[in-house]
Amino acid sequence: MKLSDRLLSLSPSATFAMSAKSAELKAQGIDVINMSVGEPDFDTPEFIKDAAKESIDRNITRYSPVPGYADLKQSICNKLSSENGLDFKPSQIVVSNGAKQSITNAVMALVNPGDEVIIPAPFWVSYPQMVKLAGGVPVHVTAGIENDFKITPEQLESAITPRTRLLILCSPCNPTGSVYSHEELEALAEVLLRHEDVLVISDEIYEHLNYIGSHASLASVPGMKERTVLVNGVSKAYAMTGWRIGFIAAPEWIAKGCSLLQGQYTSGPCSISQKAAQAAWDGDQTCVETMRQAFERRRDLIVRLAREIPGLEVNVPQGAFYLFPKCSGCFGKTVCPSTDGADSWASRVIENSTDFAMFLLEDAHVATVGGDAFGGPECFRMSFALSDKLIEEAMHRIRNSVAKLR
Ligand code: PMP
Ligand code: GLU
């Protein structure tokens, strides 16, 4: 008895796997600081929760249309127009169970077996897995820390082949926090516009967690809206990860395809969550700016503390809530036996970033994620969506643990 071939080649989500390990240790009474999974630590704002409660009382508890309620899709169009200067019709919007499903839908709707999908590395762990599920071939284009983890137009051009179907671009980026400026997007678009069969999924889920001013969407570059699937949602901006609402805004033929798929896979997303998300997009946006400011302060704090740790190389994230330091300076090292480090690490060598994250979990009791799963094998990821106090404590522990390595 065995699972389908499709599943046998699928890796588990490294972010959720590390978070589960951290929860296991916590259940054993160990005081673990969890910097592994990326989600805001804030509560969902009250006015959004009130809208959900009201929708239950009004018995909005039945199946919604497959691509989402018409008035929610109109609210999304209003958001895209006022915040992004983009003109979409409700028929171009499909609302799904989180941006994760939105991206999966788009990949499934567009990728045929053997099609190549360009994924700038480091990347969010799920992209290559989604592509593989569709039978596609992930093509990684790597940008290092010295390039602020951003790919150049020349790199993009040389990765495109006659089999290229899609580029999946994430800005602000998980895991690096890098943000492409409008000019950088224009330069990438210039390449893309020379290859008329190449489409783009533009993952903008961290749009509002931006520390350099304004967000630039690839769809706003002339000529790109017709071939871009813009993805966004409420998880990060409104602290609504558990509500599971994301959307695509795309050319109508793609939206129709995603709706067709969703109609057989999941139906429309939770009716109550849709009403909550609509309240989020229609309501007072002060809460978004308040949370953004808190994340910016924490970004400054974690960058300062991480830079004090010998052995780590740190870039400054311009968006999202992740730090992705280079830790390869610690590879080949082991815990000096004369210190009181986690026992097993006195006889084990840190070979790679997954080992490094495991060492931090066992020795510092700080859960992070090795960069291997993100296509950044020299780095590791820390989420700084934690209180300032926990960030300070975590960095103190990491500093002590790294100091034991020889
Ligand atoms: N894209 C990126 C880059 C993410 O980090 C996440 C968060 N896991 C998602 C998409 C999916 O977000 P959600 O499904 O919670 O809307
Ligand atoms: N965006 C979060 C992360 O990358 C959520 C976990 C996930 O969906 O993989 O940690």
Residue closest via CA to ligand 2's atom 9 equals 15
Q: Taking the model in full, what pTM does it have?
A: 0.96
Ligand 1 proximity of 371 Cβ (cutoff 6 Å): no
Residue to mutate, 125, 235, 238, ligand 1, most ligand atoms under 8 Å from C-beta: 235
List the one residue out of 12, 204, 13, 199 whose CA is nearest residue 109.
199
Tokens of 76: 């999304």
Dump strand ranges (E) for 310-362.
322-323
Q: What is the pLDDT of residue 17?
A: 86
Residue to mutate, 97, 129, 205, 243, ligand 1, most ligand atoms under 8 Å from C-beta: 205
151 pLDDT exceeds 90? yes
Query: What confidence tier does 297 reach under pLDDT thresholds 50, 70, 90?
Result: very high
User: With pLDDT > 90 as the criterion, what percentage of the chain qualifies?
Assistant: 91
Residues lining ligand 2, Cβ inside 6 A: 13, 15-16, 37-39, 100, 124-126, 174
The rounded distance, in Å, linking the Cα atoms of 73 and 80 is: 11
Q: What is the pLDDT of residue 13?
A: 86
List the one residue out of 22, 26, 36 whose CA is nearest residue 369.
36
The rounded distance, in Å, linking the Cα atoms of 148 and 184 is: 12
Q: How far is the CA of 370 from the centre of ligand 2 (A)?
A: 13
Paired sense of beta strands 366-367 and 246-249, if any: unpaired
Give the residue-averaged pLDDT of 51-77: 98
Q: How far is the CA of 356 from the centre of ligand 2 (A)?
A: 20
Cβ(291)–Cβ(146) below 8 Å = no
- Ligand number, closest to the Cα atom of 246: 1
Q: What is the pLDDT of residue 340?
A: 67
Give the residue-averaged pLDDT of 74-94: 98
The rounded distance, in Å, linking the Cα atoms of 139 and 118 is: 5
278 pLDDT exceeds 70? yes
Q: What is the pLDDT of residue 16?
A: 85
Q: What is the pLDDT of residue 377?
A: 97
Paired sense of beta strands 380-383 and 369-370, if any: antiparallel
- DSSP state letters, 74-128: HHHHHHHHHHH-----GGGEEEESHHHHHHHHHHHHHPPTT-EEEEEES--THHH
Ligand 1 proximity of 319 Cβ (cutoff 6 Å): no
The rounded distance, in Å, linking the Cα atoms of 38 and 381 is: 10
- Which long-range contacts does 30-34 make (Cβ < 8 Å, 24+ apart)? 30/365, 31/365, 32/361, 32/365, 32/366, 32/367, 33/365, 33/366, 33/367, 33/386, 33/390, 33/393, 33/394, 33/397, 34/367, 34/386
Q: How far is the CA of 324 from the centre of ligand 1 (A)?
A: 17
Give the position, in ligand 1's atom list, of the atom nearest the Cα of 101.
14
- Ligand number, closest to the Cα atom of 127: 1
Q: Where in the chain is the domain with CATH 3.40.640.10?
A: 60-283
The rounded distance, in Å, linking the Cα atoms of 390 and 388 is: 6
Query: What confidence tier does 95 reach under pLDDT thresholds 50, 70, 90?
Result: very high
143 pLDDT exceeds 80? yes
Q: Where in the chain is the domain with CATH 3.90.1150.10?
A: 5-43+287-402
Q: How far is the CA of 205 from the centre of ligand 1 (A)?
A: 6
The rounded distance, in Å, linking the Cα atoms of 197 and 100 is: 24
Task: Give the C-alpha distances (Å, rounded to integers) separating 389 from 40, 76, 245, 298, 325.
Answer: 15, 36, 30, 10, 20
The rounded distance, in Å, linking the Cα atoms of 342 and 364 is: 9
Give the residue-averaged pLDDT of 145-150: 95
- Ligand number, closest to the Cα atom of 244: 1
Q: How far is the CA of 182 from the centre of ligand 2 (A)?
A: 26
Ligand 1 proximity of 98 Cβ (cutoff 6 Å): yes
Q: Going by CATH, does the domain composed of 5-43+287-402 fall within 3.90.1150.10?
A: yes
List the one residue out of 85, 188, 26 whose CA is nearest residue 180.
188
Task: With H, G, I as helix, E, B as strand and everything else as coil, classify residue 153.
Answer: helix
14 pLDDT exceeds 90? no
343 pLDDT exceeds 90? no
Q: How far is the CA of 36 from the centre of ligand 1 (A)?
A: 14
The rounded distance, in Å, linking the Cα atoms of 302 and 296 is: 10
Residue closest via CA to ligand 1's atom 12 equals 99
Level-2 CATH architecture, domain 60-283: 3-Layer(aba) Sandwich (3.40)
